Structure 1
Amino acid sequence: MDKPSEGKTVNLDVSDLEPPEPMVRILEAVTALGPEDRLVVEHFREPVPLYAHLDAAGFAHEIIKLAENRYRLTIRKSR
């Protein structure tokens, strides 16, 4: 992962929101990211429909399943 000096980390928890609100909030948050920033999202499911939107907008993403119904998605601008 990035060194702390390379950009800021923005945390967003959408695990209590119902669709489509998680996608709306995530897409709003990524537009504010700087070139070296990353968005770390806590989600209750893997947001597969979001991936095409992120790819089309030039964002890379990584998903980690932490537990049943608990995922951590890290998003950053593609290099």
Structure 2
Amino acid sequence: MKILDNRGLEPPQPMMRTLKNLDQMTDGEKIAIINDRRPMFLYEELDERGYKHETEAQGDGSFKITITKVGE
């Protein structure tokens, strides 16, 4: 699983980086992103595109979001 560390980036860079990587994913593939804050706008985009996602708060205050591309 690929890990994309978006910590330290100013908005909208984390969202743009994440969406660029999502476009390259194949069905069933997973990616984990790590953000400084909970990506509220990304959740809406993931839901619209049909991706599954799970968020885990990390000990350092960041958030790890595991995203799965669901096949049609």
TM over 0.5: yes
* Alpha-carbon distance between aligned partners in 2 of 1:64 and 1:45, rounded to the nearest angstrom: 11
The equivalent of 2:44 in structure 1 is 52
Deviation at 1:68, TM superposition (A): 4.7
Provide, for residues 21-57 of structure 1, a one-character-per-residue CA deviation record: whole Å limited to 9, x for no partner: 0000001111111112101001111101111111111
Match of 1:15, SS? coil
Aligned residue-pair number = 71
Choose from 30, 34, 59 the match for 1:38.
Answer: 30
Q: Write the letter of the residue equivalent to 2:45.
A: H
1:23 matched to 2:15? The reply is yes
Q: Which runs of 5+ in 1 are unaligned?
A: 1-8
* Alpha-carbon distance between aligned partners in 1 of 2:37 and 2:26, rounded to the nearest angstrom: 26
After TM superposition, the runs of 4+ consecutive aligned structure 1 residues lying more than 2 A away are: none
1:65 matched to 2:57? The reply is yes
What value does the CA root-mean-square deviation take over the aligned residues? 1.2
The equivalent of 1:3 in structure 2 is none
* TM-score (normalizing by structure 1): 0.82
Percent identity over the alignment? 31
Of the two structures, which has the highest relative contact order with CA contacts closer than 8 Å and spacing of 6 or more? Answer: 2
